[in-house]
Amino acid sequence: MAGQKGRRSFGSLRQQKSKRWSASYVDDTGKRHFAPNTFDTKGDADAWLAVQRAKMVTGEWKPAPRSVVIFDQWAERWLAGLEKSPRTVYSYRTTVDRDLTAPFGSLPLDKITTAVVRDWYDTLPKDKPAKRAQAYRIFGQIMRAAAADGLIDASPATLRGAATHTREREVPDLEPADVDRLAGQMPPYLATTVYLGAYAALRAGEALALTRRDVNLKAQTVRVLRSAGTTTPGAERIGKTKTAAGNRTVAIPKTVTAKLRDHLDAHVGQEPTAYLFESPARPGQPVSYQTLRQAFRGASDAAGHPTLTYHGLRHVGAVLAARAGATMRELQDRLGHRSVSVAMSYQHGSALRDRAIADSMDAAITAAGKTDEQEES
């Protein structure tokens, strides 16, 4: 198990996420010493500890000089050992190549001080807070892993708050009429994505990966099992959802069910595997994320919400569900933000409640529509 520590009379063993083993021990002065490298097996790491113990008993022991490891070498080892999706590894590697290789690549790990890190961080573009935070966050992970393996005493990534950022983009609280206007500005074959984002709280990739068989008009639900991502080397075009909790069945309002029925009749093939939003340029494939993003940007500008992104529609769905009486746990289930083990324990109980949430949302949408008609008359 990754991160597992071994309890013993002398020294300690730890299995890293890469499945390799690190070993360390404390000398008579209380200073901890790490093995100069990690080991393939627990037995190899244990044997190294036994040798160090024997040397201490016979008086032959001397503190071994720490091996010099260059940042580039360690970063490559760290990337190779990541237990992440291909898209995530690609994203991390892109950040390392873009933001970390030039300032740190040729430096020994133990020469990267807090002052060096602070100077580097100050050079990152302040007008791109998300990328700035991600660069620091990944750098911090790399250096903490180096410390855990005994290559350095402690991580120099100590700048408080540098790994996070506050989103400057505010998500407007849209009313049903606003959602209708947004949908009306989209290409007809993509209009229903707006309703799925706003009222089913689907991520863009989740909506694009839907097929005919994922829609149950009778039960008024959509089933989320996959996500359509961007083109990434080593990653499938259609892959897993962002998290295990992303696999879920979401109850949708009756008004959205009606729009889905019309969409299926007008734009979707009869095969169960036909994508709900098929690419006009690539038959049999879903619309690309870039195409949806571009279309939504134009629609949001035309509808008077230039700062709104497709992902912001999930905020709309969460607000409406909360107004309908959803608890935090129900919101997490609906948005797909719960760990799979916890989600499964509430799956049966939340299904009926999720239906009630969708029905309450439907009532709010319908009421808003009637109010608009009365005002126009």
Q: Is 165 labeled as catalytic in the residue annotation? A: no
Of the residues 14, 132, 203, 338, which is catalytic? 203
The Cβ of residue 229 has, within 10 Å, a number of other Cβ atoms equal to: 22
CA 104 to CA 96: how far, in whole Å? 10
Entry field: residues in the chain: 377
Q: Is 314 labeled as catalytic in the residue annotation? A: yes
Of the residues 90, 121, 289, 346, which is catalytic? 346
Of the residues 87, 263, 314, 353, which is catalytic? 314
Contact 82, 92 (CB under 8 A): yes
* Residue 276 burial (10 A CB sphere; 0-12, 13-18, 19+): buried
Q: Is 329 labeled as catalytic in the residue annotation? A: no
C-alpha angle 18/162/173, rounded to 5°? 105
Q: Indicate the SS3 state at residue 275.
A: strand
CA 267 to CA 293: how far, in whole Å? 19
CA 164 to CA 167: how far, in whole Å? 10
Return the exposure string of 188-204: e unless at least 16 CB atoms fall within 10 Å of the residue's CB, then b: ebbbbbbbbbbbbbbbb
Count how many Cα atoms sit within 13 Å of the Cα of residue 44 in the half-sphere of its side chain. 10
Q: Is 203 labeled as catalytic in the residue annotation? A: yes
Q: How many angstroms separate the Cα of 155 from the Cα of each of 113, 117, 143, 270? A: 9, 10, 5, 57
CA torsion sign for 194, 200, 206, 212 is negative
Q: Is 346 labeled as catalytic in the residue annotation? A: yes
CA 159 to CA 93: how far, in whole Å? 22
CA 207 to CA 209: how far, in whole Å? 6
What is the helix (H) or strand (E) element at residue 2, kind and residue range? Answer: none
Of the residues 293, 297, 337, 355, which is catalytic? 337
| Residues labelled as active-site residues | 203, 311, 314, 337, 346
